[in-house]
A and B are shown apart, each in its own frame.
Chain A
Amino acid sequence: MSAAPKPYYQDTVLRLKSYWAERGCIIQEPYDLEVGAGTMAPETFLRVLGPKEYRVAYVQPSRRPADGRYGENPNRLYKHQQLQVILKPSPADVIDQYLGSLEAIGINLKQHDIKFEEDNWESPTLGAWGIGWQVMLDGMEITQFTYFQQCGGIDLDLVPAELTYGLERLVAFLQNVDSVYDIEWAPGFTYRQVRFEDEKQFSIYNFEVADVATLWKLFDLHEAEGHQLLKDKTIPLAAYDQTLKCSHLFNLLDSRGAISVTERVGVIGRVRRLAVGVAQIWNEREQAEVTA
C-alpha cells in the first residue's frame, strides 16, 4: 500500500464535498427524515424534475431496516451513509469528473482496476428509474452511477447524472480493513464507537419490537395526511414528507415480515400514488416558473 497516511472516514467525506463544491455543487446537509437512499431526499427526488439546472452534493444516512444485522455482520448495515451527487444536466465529461473524484480521495487509478458494469436503477415506490452502471474498483462496487430518466412517472427535461458513493465500503477499502466497524472515523474514534449501538438497537427494534398494528396505523395516518396535503396544490414539500414517512413505515413493516408477497405490490402502489402526486405538482410549478 502507499505510504501516505490513511485518510479518516471524515477526511474522505470532506474531500469529496470539496471536490464537488469546486465543480459548482451546492453542499447540502442530509435530509432530516428517515429515507432509504439519498435519491429519496427532496434534493434529488424533486430537484431532478423540471427544466432548471441544479447541482448538489450531500451525505445522506440511509435506513434500510431489513438490512440490519445487529452489528454482527462486518459489511451489512441497517443505516449506511451515502454521498449523493446530482449534476443536472449531466456534463459531457461526467465520467472523467467522477474518476477525478476518486483521485481526489487518494486512489491512484493507474494502480487499480476500474470497470463500469451494467446496473440500471429502478424504484417502484418512487415511480423512478434510470440507466447506468455499478462502478467496480478492484472487484468492489463503490458507486452507483445513474442517468435519471423518469421520476414520479415523469420524463425528465434535463437528464441528470446521479452519483451515489457507498461511503463505508469506499473508506474500508481506503483504510484496508475487513469490517466497516474497524474504520477509523476520526483520530481516536472508530466506526464501531460511533455507530455500533445504533445498529444493534435498531436491529432489535426493526426485527423484534416494532409493533405491527401501530406501524399500520401510522402508515394509514401519514398516507391520509399526504393525500389531504396534495389537495392543496401549493405545498408539495409537505406532502412529500408524508410520502417519506409512509415509505419508511413500509420498510419497517417489511422487516417485521408483516407484508406478504401478494400485499407488497399493493402497498408499494399506495406509496407511489403519493410520490407521483407530489412529483406532478412540483413539476407543474417548475414548468410554470420557467415559462412565466
Chain B
Amino acid sequence: MNVLPFYLEIGSEEIPDWMIVPALNHLQDAFQRWLDANVVGGRVTKVDATPRRLVLHAEGLKARQEDTTEIVMGPPRSAGEGALRGFAKKTGATVDQLQTEVTPKGEYWKFERAVPGRATSDLLGEALPGLILGIPWPKTMYWAGKTGPRWIRPIRWLVALLGDDVVPFEIAGVTSGRESQGHRLLGKDGVIVSAEERRAKIEREIEALVAGKGLRVKPDPDLLHTLVYITEFPTPILGSFEEQYLKLPREVLSTVMRHHQKYFSVESAATGDLAPHFIAVMNTNADPEGLVRHGNERVLRARFNDARFFFDVDQKKKLADRVEDLAHVTFQAKVGSYLEKTRRMIALVKELGGNEHAQRAALLAKADLTTDMVKEFTDLQGVVGGLYAKEQGEPEPVWRAVYDHYKPLSMEDSIPATAESRILALADKLDTLRECFKVGLQPSGSKDPFALRRAAQGVIRILVEGNIALPFAEQGELREFLIDRIRYYFREVRGYRYDEVNAVLASGIRDLPDVAARLEALRAVRPTEDFEPLAASFKRIANILKQANFADAGAIDEKLLEHGPEADLYKEFERVRKTTKTSDYLPALEAIATLRPAVDRFFDKVLVNAQDDGIRRNRLTLLCNLLTEFSAIADFSEIVPSNT
C-alpha cells in the first residue's frame, strides 16, 4: 500500500521562547498517539519551531484506514419473529444478512457490519483542531471574541499537507492551505526553521566576531536558548560601550546586559576581566550600515547611566543607616518585616557561634532591599549589599558575607566561601524555614512559593560541604521536611544508594557532617566480602529480637554462656567493641565486618530459644548488645543485599 508523508505548520504571532520546546514535545507525543489510535500508520519524524511557527513532519501514513467489521449482538433466537425484525430494522440490515451465534447463554442473532476504513485526510481534518488547541500552554488568550478558541497567541496561518493534498480544516476563521508565511522583514528566504541550525549559526558567528581580538564570550546556555527561540534568522553583532562604565560593578553591568538586553558579556581572553563590548543577536540577516549596533549601544548607554545614577543615589545613605527602614519592607505578611527578620538573623548567627564580622554582616544583609539598585535589579539582592558594604569601608569578611549570603542559588551553584558567609547564609535560610513552618507556609505538592525546598537544600549543602557540625535539633514537621531533603541530597546529588541512606539515617542524625562521614565509610566497606552477609545476619538478629519482643541490652552473664560458638561470639563482641570506640568510621566498620565468622558459627550451632529461660534471655541479651553496639554508625538491617 502507498504511504504518504504529512506536514503540519501552525503559524502564530510570536510565542514566548520558554514555552516552545515543551509545546513541541507535547504536540509530537499527542500526534503520535493519534496516529496509533486511528491505525493509519506512520511515525512523527521531526518537530521544530521558530517563535512564529510550530512544525511537525510525519512519514508513512496510509491514505485510508483498513476496512474492518463490527459485530452487533441481537435478541436470542428464541425471542421470535417480531424481535428478529426489530433487530434487522435497528441495524439497517435485511433479515437474510443476519446470522446466529451460539453463546453460553443460548443462541443469539447477530449482525456483522462492514465498517469501511475512512480516508486519513478526513480523519486528520476532524482531529487537527483538537490536537492543536489541546497543546497545554502555561497561559492562554482568546483573540477571536470570547466565544473563540484559546491558544498562546493568535493563530494566523495553517499548513497541513498529506502527500501533495491539503488536509482541510479551520480554526477561528483561519483555513488550512499550502502557503506558509516568511520572516516579517526578510520574507520567504528569511526563516531558519531548525532550532539547531539557528543555534549553530549564533555560536559560529559569535566565534567569528571575537576571533583575533583577544576577546571571548562567557558561555550562557540559557541565554542562547532564549535567543534561538526569539529569532527566525539570528545574526549576532558585536557592540561596544565606553570604558568609563567598567567602573560600575561587573555584576551590575552583566545583569543589565543579560537580563535587560539579552546580550552576552564579553571578557578579555587574557585576564577574564569584563571587556567594554557586548554581543547582541538580531532577528535579521545583516546590519550593513551599523544602525542596529548603534541603536543597541545607545540603549545600553542609557541603561548603564541609570545604573550609575542608582549607585550614586544609593551611596547617599549607608547600609547601616538603612536597617531601620526594613521595618517597612515585608518579608511575609504573616511573618513580619525584614527588620524583624534581621533581628532574628543576628541572634541566630550568635547562637551558631558567628564572630563579630558575621554578626555585623547579619545586621547589614537585608539593608540593600531598600536601595534603588535592588529595586531595579532584584536578582542582585545580596550582591549589591556586599558591593555597597565594601564601598562603605566594611571589613572584607563582612562585605563578602553579605555578598554571598543567598548562595547556593541552585544545585549547581557553590556554597559561600568564607566561615562568616556560611554562618550568615545558614542563619538566613534556617530563619526562613522555621518562621514559614511556624505559620503554616510549608510547601505542598508542586507548590513552594517561598522556595523552602531550595532553602533547605542550601542549609544541607552548607552544613555538609562546609563541614559544620551543627546539632540537628529541628522538631516536628520541619524535622520531617528536612530529613526528606537530606535523603534527597545524599541519594540524588551525592549518589548514595537508598538502603545506605536509610541505614545511616536509621541510626540517628547527630549532625550532617557526621551523616556524611558514616555514609562514606559505609560505601567503602560495602563491597568487602564479609559485609553484606554480616548485614543479613544483623537483619536476622533484629527479627529475632522483634519476635521475642526483647530490647534489653543489659549486662551479659558470662557464666551462662555455652562453651564454643556462643562464648566465642561474646569474646569477639568484646574485642571488636574496643576497636569501634572511634570516630573514624571506616576502620570501625571494617572491624565490625570481622564479626562475620563468629556470628555465622553462632547461628549454625546455637539455638537462641533455649529450653532454659535464663540461658535464652542471656542469649537474647548478647544479640541485643551486638545489635545496639554496632548500629551506631548504620542500621545494617536496612541494607538490601546487592546481588541476590
The interface of chain A, by Cβ under 8 A from chain B, is 1, 69, 72-76, 89-90, 92, 95, 99, 109-118, 120, 130-131, 133, 137-140, 147, 149, 155-159, 173, 176, 178, 257, 260-262
CB distance from A264 to the nearest CB of B (A): 9
Can you give 5 A-B contacts (C-beta < 8 A)?
A113-B283, A116-B230, A138-B295, A139-B263, A157-B145
Could you tell me if B295 and A159 are in contact, using CB atoms closer than 8 angstroms?
Answer: no
- Contact (A74, B302) CB under 8 Å given A114-B185, A115-B283, A261-B328: yes
Could you tell me if A74 and B185 are in contact, using CB atoms closer than 8 angstroms?
Answer: no
Query: Chain B contacts of A117 at CB under 8 A?
Result: 14, 230
Query: Which chain B residue lies CB-closest to A173?
Result: B295
- Contact (A147, B141) CB under 8 Å given A112-B292, A114-B184, A262-B330: yes
A120 to B153, CA, bound (A): 11
Per a CB cutoff under 8 Å, which of B51, B263, B302 touches A116? Answer: B51
CB distance from B187 to the nearest CB of A (A): 10
Could you tell me if B330 and A75 are in contact, using CB atoms closer than 8 angstroms?
Answer: no
A89 to B145, CA, bound (A): 8
Query: Which chain A residue lies CB-closest to B278?
Result: A139
Residue interface mask B283-308, A partner, CB < 8 A = 1: 11001110110111011111001100
B231 interface residue, CB < 8 Å from A? yes
B472 interface residue, CB < 8 Å from A? no
Per a CB cutoff under 8 Å, which of A112, A133, A139, A155 touches B280? Answer: A139
CB distance from A90 to the nearest CB of B (A): 7
- Kindly count the residue-residue contacts between A and B in the assembled complex, taking CB atoms under 8 Å apart: 112
- Contact (A139, B230) CB under 8 Å given A75-B302, A99-B184, A114-B283: no
Could you tell me if A140 and B146 are in contact, using CB atoms closer than 8 angstroms?
Answer: no
Known: A139-B296, A157-B145. 11 other contacts (CB 8 A): A72-B309, A75-B305, A95-B13, A95-B184, A111-B287, A111-B291, A114-B185, A116-B230, A137-B295, A157-B146, A178-B301
Query: Chain B contacts of A138 at CB under 8 A?
Result: 291-292, 294-296, 298-299
Query: Which chain B residue lies CB-closest to A118?
Result: B16
Query: Chain B contacts of A158 at CB under 8 A?
Result: 145
B34 interface residue, CB < 8 Å from A? no
Could you tell me if A113 and B139 are in contact, using CB atoms closer than 8 angstroms?
Answer: no
Residue interface mask B163-193, A partner, CB < 8 A = 1: 0000000000100000000001100000000
Could you tell me if B309 and A178 are in contact, using CB atoms closer than 8 angstroms?
Answer: no
Could you tell me if A155 and B146 are in contact, using CB atoms closer than 8 angstroms?
Answer: yes
- Contact (A90, B298) CB under 8 Å given A76-B306, A116-B14, A133-B14: no
Give chain B's interface residue range (CB within 8 Å of chain A).
35 or more
Q: Which 4 A-B pairs have the closest CB atoms?
A: A138-B295, A118-B16, A116-B14, A139-B296
Could you tell me if A109 and B295 are in contact, using CB atoms closer than 8 angstroms?
Answer: no
Within B14-36, which residues are at the interface with A (CB < 8 Å)? 14, 16-17
- Contact (A262, B333) CB under 8 Å given A75-B306, A178-B298: yes
A249 to B13, CA, bound (A): 38
CB distance from A109 to the nearest CB of B (A): 5
CB distance from A78 to the nearest CB of B (A): 15
B261 interface residue, CB < 8 Å from A? yes
Could you tell me if B283 and A156 are in contact, using CB atoms closer than 8 angstroms?
Answer: no
Query: Which chain B residue lies CB-closest to A131?
Result: B141
Residue interface mask B218-250, A partner, CB < 8 A = 1: 000000000000110000000000000000000
Within B140-161, which residues are at the interface with A (CB < 8 Å)? 141-146, 148, 153-154, 156
Query: Which chain B residue lies CB-closest to A265?
Result: B333
Query: Chain B contacts of A99 at CB under 8 A?
Result: 184
CB distance from B179 to the nearest CB of A (A): 15
Could you tell me if B139 and A120 are in contact, using CB atoms closer than 8 angstroms?
Answer: yes
Could you tell me if A176 and B14 are in contact, using CB atoms closer than 8 angstroms?
Answer: no
Query: Chain B contacts of A116 at CB under 8 A?
Result: 13-14, 51, 230
Query: Chain A contacts of B305 at CB under 8 A?
Result: 73-75
B329 interface residue, CB < 8 Å from A? yes
B282 interface residue, CB < 8 Å from A? yes
Query: Chain B contacts of A111 at CB under 8 A?
Result: 287-289, 291-292
Could you tell me if A73 and B306 are in contact, using CB atoms closer than 8 angstroms?
Answer: yes
A158 to B143, CA, bound (A): 8
Query: Chain B contacts of A113 at CB under 8 A?
Result: 282-284, 287, 292, 295
Per a CB cutoff under 8 Å, which of B14, B146, B289, B299 touches A139? Answer: B299
Residue interface mask B423-461, A partner, CB < 8 A = 1: 000000000000000000000000000000000000000
A116 to B14, CA, bound (A): 6
- Contact (A90, B143) CB under 8 Å given A138-B295, A262-B330: yes
Query: Which chain A residue lies CB-closest to B52?
Result: A116
Could you tell me if A115 and B298 are in contact, using CB atoms closer than 8 angstroms?
Answer: no
Query: Chain A contacts of B184 at CB under 8 A?
Result: 95, 99, 114
CB distance from B609 to the nearest CB of A (A): 69
Query: Which chain A residue lies CB-closest to B284?
Result: A113
A140 to B156, CA, bound (A): 26
Query: Which chain A residue lies CB-closest to B153?
Result: A131
A178 to B302, CA, bound (A): 7
CB distance from B157 to the nearest CB of A (A): 10
Could you tell me if B14 and A159 are in contact, using CB atoms closer than 8 angstroms?
Answer: no
